[in-house]
Amino acid sequence: MRWWRAPAKINLTLRVLGRRSDGLHLIRSLVAFGEPCDWLGFEPARTLELDIEGPAAAQSGPTENNLVLKAAKALSSETPNLRLGRFRLVKRLPAAAGIGGGSADAAAALRALAYANGLPLGDPRLRSAGLAAGADVPVCLLAKARVVEGVGEQLGPCLLLPPIVALLVNPGVAVSTRSVFKALKPNLASPSEPDLLSAAPVRTDPLTLGSLAEEGNDLEAPAVELAPIVEELLGRLAHLPGARFSRMTGSGATCFAAFEDSEQAERGRRIIVDERPHWWVKATRLH
Q: Which amino acid does the sequence have at 156?
A: G
Query: Cα angle at 192 between 191 and 194, to 5 degrees?
Result: 90
pLDDT along the chain (287 residues), means of 10: 98 95 92 98 96 95 96 97 97 95 98 98 96 96 96 94 96 93 69 40 69 96 97 98 98 97 97 98 95
> Which candidate in 9, 70, 91, 282 is catalytic?
9
Residue 186 has a pLDDT of 66
Largest distance between two CA atoms of the chain: 56
Nearest to 171 by CA among 281, 267, 248: 281
Domains and their CATH numbers in the chain: 2-155 (3.30.230.10), 165-285 (3.30.70.890)
If one counts every other C-beta atom within 10 angstroms of the C-beta of residue 272, the result is 19
Give the integer Cα–Cα distance in Å for 191 and 187.
Answer: 10
pLDDT one-digit tens code per residue, 115-142: 999 999 999 999 999 999 999 999 999 9
The strand pair at 49-53 and 85-90 is best described as parallel
Residue 137 has a pLDDT of 98
Give the integer Cα–Cα distance in Å for 86 and 116.
Answer: 12
Q: Which amino acid does the sequence have at 268?
A: G
Residue 24 has a pLDDT of 87
> Which candidate in 38, 105, 136, 218 is catalytic?
136
Produce one character per residue of 208-223: b if its CB has 16 or more CB atoms within 10 Å, e if not.
eeeebeebbbbbbbbb
Terminus-to-terminus CA distance in the chain, angstroms? 27
Identify any residues that bridge with 43 across adjacent strands, giving them in sequence order.
Answer: 86
Give the integer Cα–Cα distance in Å for 112 and 120.
Answer: 11
Give the containing element (helix H, strand E) for 263.
Answer: helix 262-275
**Residues listed for the chain:** 287
Active site residue 105: no
How far does Cα 268 stand from its chain's mean position? 22
The strand pair at 245-248 and 255-259 is best described as antiparallel
Residue 201 has a pLDDT of 45
Where does 134-261 have alpha helices with state H? 137-142, 177-182, 209-213, 220-226, 229-238
- Can you give the pTM of this predicted structure? 0.92
How far does Cα 140 stand from its chain's mean position? 8
Active site residue 136: yes
